[in-house]
A = this chain, B = another copy of it.
Amino acid sequence: MQEENIIENTKAQMRKGSLEFCIMLIISKGEIYASDILKELKKADLIVVEGTLYPLLSRLKGSQLLQYKWKESESGPPRKYYTITDKGEKNLEQLKITWSKLTKSINSLIK
């Protein structure tokens, strides 16, 4: 770890911590494919790269929280469109609760 980058590093850690949660949130809003997930994350100031996203999507698929369908693109190679499963929805509800508790805990530490 570079001495200069402590803040950047901790920032990155915070982001990492909520990554799965954020991705589940995005996909829960409707079918979407990887590149557009990256764009959504970027819009929310949560920088993520391909090498992070693809393995993560595979993991979530492997845990049956997500599923995908291949769809043709109008221009370019076909895309994997991800959607959330019932199991995924249930998990996501739990994660929302967890997130809410965590933010409460930390906000109480800040005060």
Interface set of A (CB-CB < 8 Å, partner B): 1, 3, 6-7, 10-11, 13-22, 25-26, 44-46, 59, 63, 65, 91, 94-96, 98-99, 101-103, 105-106, 108-110
Contacts and interface: CB of A to CB of B under 8 A. Distances in A.
Q: Is the interface of A mostly helix, strand, loop or mixed?
A: helix
Contact of A106 (B3, B11, B16, B21): B21
A101 to B, nearest CB: 7
Contacts of A22: 106, 109
Contact of A1 (B59, B102, B105): B59
Contact of A16 (B13, B65, B95): B13
13 contacts: A3-B63, A6-B63, A7-B94, A10-B20, A11-B98, A13-B16, A13-B17, A13-B20, A15-B17, A21-B106, A26-B109, A45-B101, A103-B103
